Structures are given as structure tokens and as C-alpha cells.
Amino acid sequence: MSTPLSHQPVPYQEITEPYYAVEVARTHSLDQAYGDDYVLICTCPRCGAALDIELFDPVYKAASTSAPPNPNPTGAREVPVSCVCRSEHDGRPEGRTGCGAYWPLELS
Ligand SMILES: [Zn+2]
Ligand SMILES: [Zn+2]
């Protein structure tokens, strides 16, 4: 199944839906860039933008060194990811990127 690359000019809204994480997990790819830095390549489940999201070391380390909110027997870690698309979204606060969508990303 291919995801259409058309961008939806939805109004900016900070929102998450359970299906975002599911949708992204089905279609994303995760590249290990340098050391503990990762780049998540995916399509925003809300606005449809093609995204390259850098998961920097501090984020990743914070996720792995602080006590996990939900200890997971598989050792998977979750980091919060949000849309960083640069297209227009009505009502977006100055200096922000994205459409406001965010979701948890599972790093195994
Ligand atoms: Zn967008
Ligand atoms: Zn988006």
C-alpha cells in the first residue's frame, strides 16, 4: 500500500490519535545516523507531509536513562515525535513547524 504524497492543509492543532503511531510504524524507516542519533523517515499521519525527523542524542538518552513510564518486557523504548512539516497550517504559532500532530515512536 502506498501513501499518497499530497499535503493536506489542515488547521494547526496539537493533537494525537491512537492510529498515528500505528500508521507511522507501518510505513516509516529509521536510519541510524551517528552514534545514538536516528533519523525517522515517514509521512505525517495527519497532514500527509513527507518528514525527516532527527531524533537527537539527548532525546534518545533521556528516553533510555530516565525511569520508563511503562516498563516494557521487550525492552522497547518510546520517544515522542511530532510533525515538522514546513508547509502552511492555519493558526500555527510563530516559529513552529508542523501541523501539530504528535505521537509516540517505539524504538526497539
Ligand atoms: Zn503539514
Ligand atoms: Zn503533519
- The grid coordinates listed for 33 are 545516523
pLDDT in the model for residue 69 = 54
What mean pLDDT, rounded, does the chain reach?
A: 83
- Which residue's entry shows cell 551517528? 34
Cα 25 to middle of ligand 2, angstroms: 15
Which ligand does the CA of 44 lie closest to? 2
Cα 67 to middle of ligand 1, angstroms: 33
Cα 86 to middle of ligand 2, angstroms: 9
Judged by average pLDDT, the poorest of 34-48, 63-77, 78-92 is: 63-77
Give 51's pLDDT tier (boundaries 50, 70, 90): very high
Chain-centre distance of CA 58, in angstroms?
Answer: 16
